Amino acid sequence: MTRAQLVEQIRKKGSYLCVGLDPDLSKIPAHLLASPDPVFEFNKQIIDATHEYCVAYKPNLAFYEALGPKGWESLQKTIEYIPKDLFTIADAKRGDIGNTASLYAKAFFERMNFDSITVAPYMGEDSVKPFLEFKNKWVVLLVHTSNPGSADFQLLESKTGRKLYEEVILKSQQWGTPENMMYVVGATRADKIGEIRKLAPEHFFLVPGVGAQGGDLEEVSKMGMNKDCGLLVNSSRAIIYASSGRDFAEAAKRESQKLQLEMSKYLEQNGVT
Ligand code: OMP
């Protein structure tokens, strides 16, 4: 998907919501466990219930890989089921030497037809560039993550006086463009989103951490939105596990609609309509 197509979707739907598809067999409603593919059945009903209110889906690979070959099958079926006008993110957090990275890119962009993949930047340029060679596919680079441990390395000061995550943003802008690279910026530190926006005015940010991790949508939107929106805000557990009963899809619909309504207000306030 191109940047223009993504922005068009955001304007059309009045939403920059990304729904995280993190299906956990210990959490999905018990009545689904008897179906032949409970993970796909769960995702299918979540997608049916939420696709009007979001512009992206982000399956996190851990939840599928943990189930072995069956998990990969559920993932493949899920990606094929997502409507083609929605942006898809393989949350795989890959990062390896060039020839290996090329095969990761093939796996997710060609075999599975994802629009994008999350990538860790710390092995440097040759580990990221192979992902950028695919037309209309995106790298979503980890910059300032939402977890407590993000401070361990990302906030270290380099000899230039800048933090490591700032170096990542500045350096990586020599590799990719706002047309094929996004940055992961956790919602749990909205103040950082404002600082990062100054370093990368045009790029899209994937912002996880709203909902279960306590990030604030209003604050994130105020600090991070640019003229094209420039944000994809992810929520996983707060949407997909809004109810653990037979009404889980209805509950997911309610939660995603609530976020979409709030998002449409912020888009309007920022003139992104
Ligand atoms: P919830 O906390 O349930 O909304 O899920 C957040 C999702 O975003 C999970 O799939 C995480 O792996 C992912 N995530 C973070 O929570 N923090 C980050 O900094 C980066 C990611 C990610 O790359 O998506």
Query: Under a CB-based contact definition with an 8 Å cutoff, are residues 240 and 46 in contact?
Result: yes
57 Cα to the center of ligand 1, angstroms: 12
Instruction: Name the strand (E) or helix (H) holding 118.
Output: strand 116-119
Residue 246 pLDDT: 97
Question: Distance between CA 101 and CA 110 in Å, rounded?
Answer: 13
The atom of ligand 1 lying closest to the CA of 60 is 10
Residue 183 pLDDT: 98
Question: Distance between CA 9 and CA 31 in Å, rounded?
Answer: 34
pTM of the model: 0.98
SS3 92: strand
Residue 191 pLDDT: 86
Mutate to test the pocket of ligand 1, among 57, 236, 256, 259 (most ligand atoms within 8 A of CB): 236
CA atoms lying within 13 Å on the CB side of residue 81 = 21
The mean pLDDT values, 10 residues at a time, for the chain of 273 residues are 98 98 97 97 98 98 98 98 98 98 98 98 98 98 96 94 96 98 94 94 97 94 97 98 97 98 97 92
Any idea which residues carry the catalytic annotation?
A: 93
Residues with CB under 6 A from ligand 1: 20, 22, 60, 91, 118, 145-147, 184, 186, 208-209, 211-213, 234-238
259 Cα to the center of ligand 1, angstroms: 17
88 Cα to the center of ligand 1, angstroms: 15
Given 3-state DSSP classes, what are the helix, strand and coil percentages for the chain, each rounded to the nearest 5?
A: 45, 20, 35
Question: Distance between CA 218 and CA 231 in Å, rounded?
Answer: 12
Residue 190 pLDDT: 85
Hey, what domains does the chain have and what are their CATH numbers? 3-269 (3.20.20.70)
209 Cα to the center of ligand 1, angstroms: 6
Instruction: Name the strand (E) or helix (H) holding 184.
Output: strand 181-185
